[in-house]
Each structure stands twice: as structure tokens, then as C-alpha cells.
């Protein structure tokens, strides 16, 4: 249910952009979700539908999923994150704070925990379209 807090942040951010761009009615909001955070898409969509204000009444929310790419800072190895390799508790910890991945995941090539999350960390507001 932590998706509700993220949905609230998305709506607040979209409202701020709409105000800045002088959009009276929002038609489309595109959100990117990084695989690392394992956000439950159904819960996020439901929360968005419940939290949206009047100016978002006819807005469509598009959710694009992004694979998570990790790059080792020591040996340069690049690999894709896979939730399937984690036990339930670890996956849940990373769901709440993706950075704790550094406590549980190591570079499969050299074993270093010093890696960069180059893509697909968490929730990102990609685009917003509306009518002025």
C-alpha cells in the first residue's frame, strides 16, 4: 500500500506541472516504473484513480515499465536486475527503499556492492498532456 504515497506524489507533481504550463484539463499522464522498486501496477492505478482531482477527471494514466540495469563501478560489468533471485523479505526491503539493494546485491562478476543503478530505479513522471 506504499503505492498510495507514490501515487499522491505523482498527482501533486502533475498538478504542479499543469499549473506551470497553464493546463486547465489534463488528458494524459505517462509514468515510468523501474523494475527495481517492484511497484504493484494495479494498486498504483487504483490509487491514482481515487486521488485524482477534478482537472484530471478525463485523464488517462499510461504506465511504462523499465528494466533495471546495474553497472559495477569496480569492473564495469553491466547486468539486469531480477526479482526472482531474491527471497521475499529482501525483495520487500528493496521495494520500500531501492537503495538497500546495495546491502543484498553484488556484482555477479567481481562480487562488489559498489554498483550504479543506471536505469529503472523507481517511479518517474515522464510526460503530461492537457488542454490550455
Binding site for other proteins (CB under 8 A): 1-2, 4-6, 8-10, 12-14, 16-17, 47, 93-94, 96-100, 102-104, 113-114, 117, 121-125
Closest contact distance (angstroms) between CB of 29 and other proteins is 10
Closest contact distance (angstroms) between CB of 56 and other proteins is 14
Closest contact distance (angstroms) between CB of 44 and other proteins is 12
Inter-helix orientation angle 41-51/2-20, to 10°? 50
- Judge whether 77 and 47 are in contact, CB under 8 Å: no
> Which cell numbers hold the place of 59?
485523464
The whole-angstrom separation of Cα 48 and Cα 46 is 5
Listed residue (98, 96, 34) closest to 65, CA to CA: 34
Nearer Cβ to other proteins, position 60 or 92? 92
Listed residue (64, 22, 29) closest to 48, CA to CA: 29
Nearer Cβ to other proteins, position 4 or 79? 4
Beta bridge partner(s), residue 79: 70
Closest contact distance (angstroms) between CB of 104 and other proteins is 7
Nearer Cβ to other proteins, position 82 or 112? 112
Nearer Cβ to other proteins, position 25 or 125? 125
- For the chain, the C-alpha Rg in angstroms (whole number) is 17
Amino acid at each position: 500500500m506504499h503505492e498510495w504515497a507514490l501515487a499522491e506524489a505523482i498527482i501533486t507533481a502533475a498538478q504542479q506541472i499543469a499549473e506551470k504550463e497553464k493546463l486547465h484539463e489534463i488528458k494524459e499522464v505517462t509514468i515510468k516504473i523501474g523494475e527495481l522498486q517492484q511497484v504493484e501496477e494495479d494498486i498504483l492505478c487504483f490509487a491514482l484513480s481515487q486521488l485524482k482531482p477534478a482537472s484530471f477527471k478525463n485523464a488517462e494514466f499510461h504506465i511504462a515499465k523499465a528494466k533495471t540495469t546495474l553497472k559495477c563501478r569496480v569492473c564495469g560489468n553491466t547486468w539486469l536486475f531480477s526479482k526472482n533471485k531474491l527471497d521475499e523479505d529482501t525483495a520487500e526491503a528493496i521495494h520500500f527503499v531501492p537503495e538497500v539493494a546495495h546491502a543484498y546485491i553484488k556484482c555477479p562478476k567481481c562480487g562488489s556492492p559498489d554498483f550504479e543503478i543506471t536505469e529503472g530505479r523507481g517511479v518517474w513522471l515522464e510526460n503530461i498532456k492537457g488542454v490550455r
